[in-house]
């Protein structure tokens, strides 16, 4: 590709790419995100390629392997453009039909269409599926039109036009003002106003300045940053260049988790392409502005998502947070002024520049503007990534977009903000979601993980899980976090084992306060949140564990026992055969019995029973 020496050449290239494309030419888009990869999209892609050659359609049909399209539950996903006919969970044997019927004759294959779980209706087009219909996919929507390894796709949809606009007609302060006016807040979790951050860094004098992208997405249950990087790296790169221009920086880093190999690969490819086009490196688009980005892989430590720990890690040290008397915007990486923003924040920047701060500020609530991508996971029908305007209620997200809870179970709580967040109960289901409302409820936005919990989820167990997570990930610098979490875990383990006492809850509350007040970084300060919110909203479950020695959700192993319902059991004997400890006995064709003394509650019998005769009961602590 030729190096672009000014913004006019970029527009020329864009026009050439658009003109070279026939809008009516069918494109088969196959989602190649990690979710669909795990569901086997590789075979599907190969099958499509083979089939197209077999039917001799190489000239007439394009294949585009995109990044994550969001609807991971139904992967592998295939969408046929321009008609937007949507096929979920495609199997290799369907491929030849899809090509010969839908692609060639534009005929819909009814039995392969998506079935709405609520109505049982078959839905043909992508935008009519309830999961997509209610979303506002300003950032994420472009993933569907982009092959992450092909920069032309990004340029064709208007990519790098924001950069050209900034470099040709705006001063750095104009950019900062525009971002400030948009009221964009950091998407990494804290929600700090981005414009303010940039301004304070641009005012600080330094020999060098750094622009960093935080892609150390460690929150369990959140994967939107990865999907942006995998699906549309260029939007992040463009945002970073604009940010660098605004604060006057020439050096950029992106800190990516080593667990995300595909994101690293796609981002590196995108960097190379941008360099080749002269969008990165020396004299970008002939403006005299230099900037480049280095990819830095993390070593797998949750705490490195914290800003000061991340800086330490890039410096090649152990990722321990330091006190923030002086902000990174003044003295950050290697002691120079540094701006660190989350992946999603960077991806928002080109939109704000292109469409204007006014447009951006018109979306969302009073203090939280724009859209937010959430990863809707857990006990939910439509698992996946959803992008909605700030202020949408939990009910709309869970029931309208998420399609409700599987098997008609009851909604119990939603956990947001990862291990730093909290559980929001059903009573607050109509709460609009934005930064301040969530904080008010005792949780936080975090990076946007939303884990749905139903009646089968034990809240004490959830609290225990998060404390365990925080204990594991605590860097150990502050004794209150290192020791406090350990003691909290001991108390919770006691409660789950049925050994809780009256003192357990007050002690837990006291410990939470200590850890919250005396830890240095965000990890420690927010570590007690899951315990505090579950105590606040689900105290009755704690009391059931402590006083009645019962686990209402039937999760805590010490408080439950397995039983075979003699009415339902058909005596097939498969459970007895599969039981690893031989705890099940019984004659053929007669109801079997579980010996509770031997049973280890491993769950094998439930998994293999065809008639659902194995029941879990609680209250049976010996």
Partner 1 sequence: MTNEKNTLVTDAKKHGSVLVVGGGISGIQSSLDLADAGFKVYILEESPAIGGVMAQLDKTFPTNDCSMCIMSPKLVDVGRHPNIELITYSELKEVAGKAGNFKVKILKKPRYVDGEKCTGCGICIENCPVLLQPQIPKKPKEAPSVRDQEYIDKLISKYSYQEGPLIQIMLEANEKYRYLPRDVMEYLSSKLDISLSTIYRVATFYKAFSLEPRGKYHIKVCLGTACHVRGARNIVDKVKDTIGDADEGFFSLETVNCLGACALGPIMVVNEKVYGHMTVDKVDEIIKPLEDE
* Residue 615 CB burial class (10 angstroms; 0-12, 13-18, ≥19): middle
Q: Which of 236, 478, 521, 579 binds partner 1 (CB under 8 A)?
A: 478
* Residue 164 CB burial class (10 angstroms; 0-12, 13-18, ≥19): buried
Residue 438 C-beta: closest distance to partner 1, Å = 16
| Under rule CB under 8 A, residue 75 binds partner 1 | yes
74: which 2 tokens?
């139904």
| Under rule CB under 8 A, residue 480 binds partner 1 | yes
The size of the interface with partner 1 (CB under 8 A), counted in residues, is 70
Under a CB-based contact definition with an 8 Å cutoff, are residues 240 and 270 in contact?
no
Q: Which of 82, 607, 611, 617 binds partner 1 (CB under 8 A)?
A: 607
Site for partner 1 in 118-177 (CB under 8 A): none
Q: Which of 360, 455, 446, 359 is nearest to 408 (CA)?
A: 455
Q: Which of 494, 200, 176, 224 is nearest to 375 (CA)?
A: 224
Residue (10 or 77) nearer to partner 1, CB: 77
* SS3 state at 346: helix
Residue (1 or 294) nearer to partner 1, CB: 294
| Under rule CB under 8 A, residue 89 binds partner 1 | no
Task: Supply the angle between the helices 172-182 and 194-203 in degrees, to the nearest 10.
Answer: 150
**Distance in angstroms (rounded) separating the CA atoms of residues 49 and 59:** 12
**Distance in angstroms (rounded) separating the CA atoms of residues 264 and 343:** 13
Site for partner 1 in 293-352 (CB under 8 A): 294, 296-302, 313-319, 334
**Distance in angstroms (rounded) separating the CA atoms of residues 469 and 125:** 41
Residue 419 C-beta: closest distance to partner 1, Å = 8
Site for partner 1 in 401-430 (CB under 8 A): 415, 418
Q: Which residues, in sequence order, are CB contacts of 368 under 8 Å at separation 6+?
A: 185, 191, 390, 391, 434, 435, 436
Under a CB-based contact definition with an 8 Å cutoff, are residues 340 and 331 in contact?
no
Residue (505 or 602) nearer to partner 1, CB: 602
Site for partner 1 in 432-471 (CB under 8 A): 449, 451, 453, 457, 462, 465-466, 469
Terminal Cα distance for the chain, rounded: 73
Residue 173 C-beta: closest distance to partner 1, Å = 30
103: which 2 tokens?
């692609």
Residue 211 C-beta: closest distance to partner 1, Å = 15
Residue 258 C-beta: closest distance to partner 1, Å = 5
Residue (242 or 405) nearer to partner 1, CB: 405
Rg (CA), the chain: 27
Residue 305 C-beta: closest distance to partner 1, Å = 12
Q: Which of 126, 153, 216, 219 binds partner 1 (CB under 8 A)?
A: 219
Residue (361 or 608) nearer to partner 1, CB: 608
Residues that bind partner 1 (CB under 8 A): 34-35, 37-39, 72-73, 75, 217-223, 226, 258-260, 294, 296-302, 313-319, 334, 375, 377-379, 383-384, 415, 418, 449, 451, 453, 457, 462, 465-466, 469, 472-473, 475, 477-480, 483, 514, 518-520, 578, 580, 602-604, 607-608
């Amino acid at each position: 590709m030729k190096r672009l020496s000014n913004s006019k050449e970029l527009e020329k290239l864009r026009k050439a790419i658009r003109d070279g494309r026939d809008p009516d030419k069918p494109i088969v888009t196959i989602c190649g995100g990690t979710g669909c990869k795990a569901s086997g999209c590789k075979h599907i892609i190969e099958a499509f390629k083979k089939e197209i050659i077999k039917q001799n359609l190489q000239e007439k049909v394009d294949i585009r392997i995109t990044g994550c399209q969001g609807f991971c539950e139904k992967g592998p996903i295939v969408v046929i453009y321009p008609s937007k006919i949507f096929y979920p969970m495609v199997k290799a044997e369907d491929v030849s039909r899809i090509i010969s019927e839908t692609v060639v004759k534009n005929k819909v294959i009814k039995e392969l269409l998506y079935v709405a779980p609520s109505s049982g209706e078959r839905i043909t087009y992508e935008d009519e599926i309830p999961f997509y219909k209610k979303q506002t996919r300003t950032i994420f929507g472009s993933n569907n039109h982009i092959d992450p390894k092909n920069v032309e796709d990004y340029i064709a949809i208007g990519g790098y036009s924001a950069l050209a606009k900034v470099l040709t007609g705006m001063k750095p302060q104009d950019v900062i003002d525009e971002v400030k006016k948009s009221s964009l807040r950091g998407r990494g979790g804290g929600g700090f106003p981005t414009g303010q951050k940039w301004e304070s860094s641009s005012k600080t004098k330094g020999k060098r300045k750094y622009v960093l992208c935080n892609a150390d997405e460690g929150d369990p249950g959140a994967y939107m940053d990865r999907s942006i990087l995998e699906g549309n790296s260029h939007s992040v790169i463009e945002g970073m260049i604009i940010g660098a221009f605004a604060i006057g920086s020439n050096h950029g880093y992106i800190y990516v988790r080593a667990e995300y190999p595909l994101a690293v690969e796609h981002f590196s490819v995108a960097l190379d392409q941008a360099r080749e086009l002269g969008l990165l490196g020396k004299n970008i688009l002939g403006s005299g502005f230099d900037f480049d980005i280095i990819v830095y892989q993390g070593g797998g430590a949750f705490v490195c998502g914290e800003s000061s720990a991340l800086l330490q890690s890039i410096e090649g040290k152990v990722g321990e947070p330091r006190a923030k008397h002086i902000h990174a915007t003044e003295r950050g990486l290697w002691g120079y002024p540094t701006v660190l923003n989350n992946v999603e924040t960077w991806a928002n920047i080109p939109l704000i520049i292109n469409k204007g701060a006014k447009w951006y500020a018109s979306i969302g609530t009073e203090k939280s503007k724009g859209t937010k991508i959430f990863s809707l996971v857990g006990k939910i029908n439509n698992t996946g990534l959803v992008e909605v305007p700030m202020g949408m209620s939990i009910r709309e997200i869970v029931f309208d977009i998420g399609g409700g809870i599987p098997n008609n179970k009851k909604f119990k709580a939603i956990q947001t903000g990862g291990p730093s967040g909290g559980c929001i109960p059903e009573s607050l289901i109509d709460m609009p979601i934005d930064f301040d409302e969530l904080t008010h409820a005792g949780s936080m936005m975090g990076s946007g993980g939303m884990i749905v919990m139903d009646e089968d989820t034990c809240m004490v167990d959830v609290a225990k899980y998060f404390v365990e997570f925080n204990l594991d990930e605590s860097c150990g610098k502050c004794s209150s976090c290192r020791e406090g979490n350990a003691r909290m875990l001991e108390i919770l383990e006691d409660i789950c084992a049925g050994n809780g006492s009256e003192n357990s809850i007050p002690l837990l509350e006291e410990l939470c306060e200590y850890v919250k007040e005396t830890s240095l970084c965000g990890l420690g300060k927010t570590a007690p949140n899951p315990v505090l919110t579950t105590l606040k909203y689900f105290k009755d479950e704690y009391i059931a564990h402590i006083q009645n020695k019962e686990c209402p959700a039937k999760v805590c192993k010490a408080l439950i026992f397995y039983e075979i319902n003699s009415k339902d059991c058909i005596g097939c004997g498969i459970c007895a055969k599969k039981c690893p400890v031989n705890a099940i006995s019984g004659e053929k064709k007669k109801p079997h019995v579980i010996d509770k003394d031997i049973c280890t509650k491993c769950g094998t019998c439930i998994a293999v029973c065809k008639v659902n005769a194995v029941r879990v009961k609680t209250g049976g602590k010996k």
